C-alpha cells in the first residue's frame, strides 16, 4: 500500500526538504479530519487525497498544489472552514482547496444544473489560480480509477461527465497523459464489453506485429545514426477510445486501423527536428497532404511537433511524430510543464507560453460566463468550444488566429475582440470583399471593416460556431432590446401623458420615482421597458401618475388638446422593438396602425389590414403611426401577377425589376392552364411610389393581364 513516506521520497527528488515537510503536515491534518470516514471500497478515506497528490507528484507539481490535493475534500466532507485552513496552511492553499471543493451541499432540482453550477464555480476559481483545474483533474482521474464500487448507472453518468468536460479540459490544457487515461477509463465505464473486446484485439495484434515494429524502428534509428543526428525512435501506441472512434467515424475495420504503424522521434533541438524530417522523407516516400507543422504553428494548448505519414515497405503506412524533449514534456504534461520547469528554478519559453495560453483560455471562459443566460447555457458553450478541429487564419499584421472548423468571418471578428464583432459590417478575405457568413479556410488573411453605429444581427446566430461569438451576440441583442424598449416606452408614455396635457419632463421632480414601489418595479428603466414590450399599458400608467399628483398642483396649460391622437413617428430602422407585419407588408406612404404585442413591442400593420379587426376590442393596444420623412431602407412587398405562360418569363421579370432598382426576394409560379400562369413575386422596395413605378412597368408587358399587391 502506497504511504506518505513513499510520496515524501518521490517529492524529495525535486522539492526542498521544508516544502516536503509541509506536504506531510497537510497529509496528517487531512488524516485527522477524515478520521472514521471510508470510501465505497472500504478503504480509509485519506487514501484518496494521498493518491491524488501522487498523481500530481508524477507531474512535478509545486508543494502548494500537493497540499491542496491532500486537503481538497476537508471543507466539503468534514466541516472544517476555509478560514481554519488559511490559518494553518496559508491563504493560497485555502483558495485552491475552496476552488476544488464540490457543490454537493446545494440541492439542485436537476443533476445537469448541479454539474453546470459546479463547473462555473471551478472556472471562477481557475481565474484566480490555474492550479485549481490541475488538482481537480487529478482528483477526477483517481475517482475514475476507483469507479468499481459504484452502481452501473452512476458509473455511466460520471464517465459521460468526465468525457464531455474533464477529458476535454485536460486536452485543452495539453495534459495528454491525464486526457488519454480519462478517455479510456470513461470508455470502459460506458461501453465495458466494447472496451474489453478492443483491448483483447489490441493485445493479440501487438503480438503479431512485434517483429515488424522492431524492424521499422531499427531501420529509422539506423538512418539517424548514419546521418549523425541525435534522436531516439520509440513506438507509439493508440489508446482504446481513439481506436473505437476511428472505427465508428471512419467506418474502418480494426485490422485497417492497426495496419498503421506509429513512431515518435525525440531529439534535442528544433533544427534537428527539421533535419530528421528530411532524412525520413529520403528513407520512405511521404504521403501527399499528410504533413503538418505544429512547431511553426502550435495548437491552442501549446502542443508542438512535426507530423508526417510515410509509405513503408510494401506500401504499409507509417505515422511519424518528430519533436524535442521539451515538446515531449509539454505534450504529456501541458500547462503542468510550467511547474515542472519552475521546480528546477529555470523558466522555459515553451512552459511559460503554455501557461499564458491557459490563462487566456480561462479569461475567455469568464467572458462567456458573464454573457451566458444561465449555467446550463454556459456549460453548452464550453462543451462546444473545447478543442474542436482547428483552422489557422491571419490578421492583416500577420498574427495567427486559431478557430474551429466551420468558423465564419463573424467568429473571427469576435475572437479578435468583442467590440470588433459587435461593430463589424464587412470583411476582406485575401483583399477581396466577402460576406460575413463566409466559412473560413486555413491560410486566409482577414481584414474586418467596422462602423461606429453598427449592431449585431439576430441572423448571425444561425451561422456562427464559436461559443464566444454566440454568447457575445446574445448578450448584445439582449442589451439592444432593453435599450430600444426603454426608448419606445418613454415615447409611448409621453404620448399617453399628452392626453392629460403633461409629459414626463413636466411631472414634479421625483414623482415617477416615488410611484415605482407602488408599481412593484425597482428602476425607472424597468418600468419604461415593460411599456415598450407591451406588458404594461402606457395609458393606464399615465392616468395613475396624473391621479397621484400632489393636491393643489395646477395642471399645465400648454395648448395640447389635439396631441392625444398625435401619431408615433417611425423611421423604419427601429431595431428590435418595432417590427413590420408579414401579413400585409406595410410600405412608407401606406396609412399604418401600431399594435402593441406583449413581449415583442410594436407590430406595424397597414390601416386596412384584416388582422386588425380582431383587435378592435382592445383600443388601448392600437394607436396611429406615421412614417418619418427620412427613411433609407428597403421593405418587402408581395405582388400577384396574372400573365401568359411562355419561355423566358422569369428572366424578363427579373431584368425589369433590376432595371427599376429593386431586388427580388422570392418568386413562385402557379400554372393555371397551358396558357395562363400566376406569378407570386416578393420584392424589396423603398416606398409606395417606388412600387407604383415597378407595377407600371410590369403592366406594360404585353403578356400581363392583371397585377396587384397582395392584401393578407
Q: What residues are annotated to the active site?
A: 76-77
Structural contact between residues 558 and 685, judged by C-beta atoms closer than 8 angstroms: no
Structural contact between residues 356 and 174, judged by C-beta atoms closer than 8 angstroms: no
Report the C-alpha gap between 411 and 675 in whole angstroms: 51
Report the C-alpha gap between 217 and 234 in whole angstroms: 7
- Long-range residue pairs from 669-672, CB within 8 A, at least 24 positions apart, any chain: 671/645
Structural contact between residues 679 and 704, judged by C-beta atoms closer than 8 angstroms: no
Angle at 175 between CA 169 and CA 331, to 5 degrees: 135
Report the C-alpha gap between 544 and 536 in whole angstroms: 12
**Residue listed under C-alpha cell 445537469:** 112
Report the C-alpha gap between 509 and 490 in whole angstroms: 16
How many CA within 13 A on the CB side of residue 216? 27
Q: Which of 608, 612, 607, 573 is nearest to 592 (CA)?
A: 607
Instruction: For the chain, state the CA radius of gyration.
Output: 34
Q: Which of 24, 7, 92, 15 is nearest to 343 (CA)?
A: 15
HEC per residue, 320-377: EEEEEHHHHHHHHHHHHHHHHHHHCCCCCHHHHHHHHHHHHHHHHHHHHHHHCCCHHH
Q: Which of 633, 638, 635, 645 is nearest to 695 (CA)?
A: 638
Alpha carbon 218 to its chain's center:
46
Amino acid at each position: 500500500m502506497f504511504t506518505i513516506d513513499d510520496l515524501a521520497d518521490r517529492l524529495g527528488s525535486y522539492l526542498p526538504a521544508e516544502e516536503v515537510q509541509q506536504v506531510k503536515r497537510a497529509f496528517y491534518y487531512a488524516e485527522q479530519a477524515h478520521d472514521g470516514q471510508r470510501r465505497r471500497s472500504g478503504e480509509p478515506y485519506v487514501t484518496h487525497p494521498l493518491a491524488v497528490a501522487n498523481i500530481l507528484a508524477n507531474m512535478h507539481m509545486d508543494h502548494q498544489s500537493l497540499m491542496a490535493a491532500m486537503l481538497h475534500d476537508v471543507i466539503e466532507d468534514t466541516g472544517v472552514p476555509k478560514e481554519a485552513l488559511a490559518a494553518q496552511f496559508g491563504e493560497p492553499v485555502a483558495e485552491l482547496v475552496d476552488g476544488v471543493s464540490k457543490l454537493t451541499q446545494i440541492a439542485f432540482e436537476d443533476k445537469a444544473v448541479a454539474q453546470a453550477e459546479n463547473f462555473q464555480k471551478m472556472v471562477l476559481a481557475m481565474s484566480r489560480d490555474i492550479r485549481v483545474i490541475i488538482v481537480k483533474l487529478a482528483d477526477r482521474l483517481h475517482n475514475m480509477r476507483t469507479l468499481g464500487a459504484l452502481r452501473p448507472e452512476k458509473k455511466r453518468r460520471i464517465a459521460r461527465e468526465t468525457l464531455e468536460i474533464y477529458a476535454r479540459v485536460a486536452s485543452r490544457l495539453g495534459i495528454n497523459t491525464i486526457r488519454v487515461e480519462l478517455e479510456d477509463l470513461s470508455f470502459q465505464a460506458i461501453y465495458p464489453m466494447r472496451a474489453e473486446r478492443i483491448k483483447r484485439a489490441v493485445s493479440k495484434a501487438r503480438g503479431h506485429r512485434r517483429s515488424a515494429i522492431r524492424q521499422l524502428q531499427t531501420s529509422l534509428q539506423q538512418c539517424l545514426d548514419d546521418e549523425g543526428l541525435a534522436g531516439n525512435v520509440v513506438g507509439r501506441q493508440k489508446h482504446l477510445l481513439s481506436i473505437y472512434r476511428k472505427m465508428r467515424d471512419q467506418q474502418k475495420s480494426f485490422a485497417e486501423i492497426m495496419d498503421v504503424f506509429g513512431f515518435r522521434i525525440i531529439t534535442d533541438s528544433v533544427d534537428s527536428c527539421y533535419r530528421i524530417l528530411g532524412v525520413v522523407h529520403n528513407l520512405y516516400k511521404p504521403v501527399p497532404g499528410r504533413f503538418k507543422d505544429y512547431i511553426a504553428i502550435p495548437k491552442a494548448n501549446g502542443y508542438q511537433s512535426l507530423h508526417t505519414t510515410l509509405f513503408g515497405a510494401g506500401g504499409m503506412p507509417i505515422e511519424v511524430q518528430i519533436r524535442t524533449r521539451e515538446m515531449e514534456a509539454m505534450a504529456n504534461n501541458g500547462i503542468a510543464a510550467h511547474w515542472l520547469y519552475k521546480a528546477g528554478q529555470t523558466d522555459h519559453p515553451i512552459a511559460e507560453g503554455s501557461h499564458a495560453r491557459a490563462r487566456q483560455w480561462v479569461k475567455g471562459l469568464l467572458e462567456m460566463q458573464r454573457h451566458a443566460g444561465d449555467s446550463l447555457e454556459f456549460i453548452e458553450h464550453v462543451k462546444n468550444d473545447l478543442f474542436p478541429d482547428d483552422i489557422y487564419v491571419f490578421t492583416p499584421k500577420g498574427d495567427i488566429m486559431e478557430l474551429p472548423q466551420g468558423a465564419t468571418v463573424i467568429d473571427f471578428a469576435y475572437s479578435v475582440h468583442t467590440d470588433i464583432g459587435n461593430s463589424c459590417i464587412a470583411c476582406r478575405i485575401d483583399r477581396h470583399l466577402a460576406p460575413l457568413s463566409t466559412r473560413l479556410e486555413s491560410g486566409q488573411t482577414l481584414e474586418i471593416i467596422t462602423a461606429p453605429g453598427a449592431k449585431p444581427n439576430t441572423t448571425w446566430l444561425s451561422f456562427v460556431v464559436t461559443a464566444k461569438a454566440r454568447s457575445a451576440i446574445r448578450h448584445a441583442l439582449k442589451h439592444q432590446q432593453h435599450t430600444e424598449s426603454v426608448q419606445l416606452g418613454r415615447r409611448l408614455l409621453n404620448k399617453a401623458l399628452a392626453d392629460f396635457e403633461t409629459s414626463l419632463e413636466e411631472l414634479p421632480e421625483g414623482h415617477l420615482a416615488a410611484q415605482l414601489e407602488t408599481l412593484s418595479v425597482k428602476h425607472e428603466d424597468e418600468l419604461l421597458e415593460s411599456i415598450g414590450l407591451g406588458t404594461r399599458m402606457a395609458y393606464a400608467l399615465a392616468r395613475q401618475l396624473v391621479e397621484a399628483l400632489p393636491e393643489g398642483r395646477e395642471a399645465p396649460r400648454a395648448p395640447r388638446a389635439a396631441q392625444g391622437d398625435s401619431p408615433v413617428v417611425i423611421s423604419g430602422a427601429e431595431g428590435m422593438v418595432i417590427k413590420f407585419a408579414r401579413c400585409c407588408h406595410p410600405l412608407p406612404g401606406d396609412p399604418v396602425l401600431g399594435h402593441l404585442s406583449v413581449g415583442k413591442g410594436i407590430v406595424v400593420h397597414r390601416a386596412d389590414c384584416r388582422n386588425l379587426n380582431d383587435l378592435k376590442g382592445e383600443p388601448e393596444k392600437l394607436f396611429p403611426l406615421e412614417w418619418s420623412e427620412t427613411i433609407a431602407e428597403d421593405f418587402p412587398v408581395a405582388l400577384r401577377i396574372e400573365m401568359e405562360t411562355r419561355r423566358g418569363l422569369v428572366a424578363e421579370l427579373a431584368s425589369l425589376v433590376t432595371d427599376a432598382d429593386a431586388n427580388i426576394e422570392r418568386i413562385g409560379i402557379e400554372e393555371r392552364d397551358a396558357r395562363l400562369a400566376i406569378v407570386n413575386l416578393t420584392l424589396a422596395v423603398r416606398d409606395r411610389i417606388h412600387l407604383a413605378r415597378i407595377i407600371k412597368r410590369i403592366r406594360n408587358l404585353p403578356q400581363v393581364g392583371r397585377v396587384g399587391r397582395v392584401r393578407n
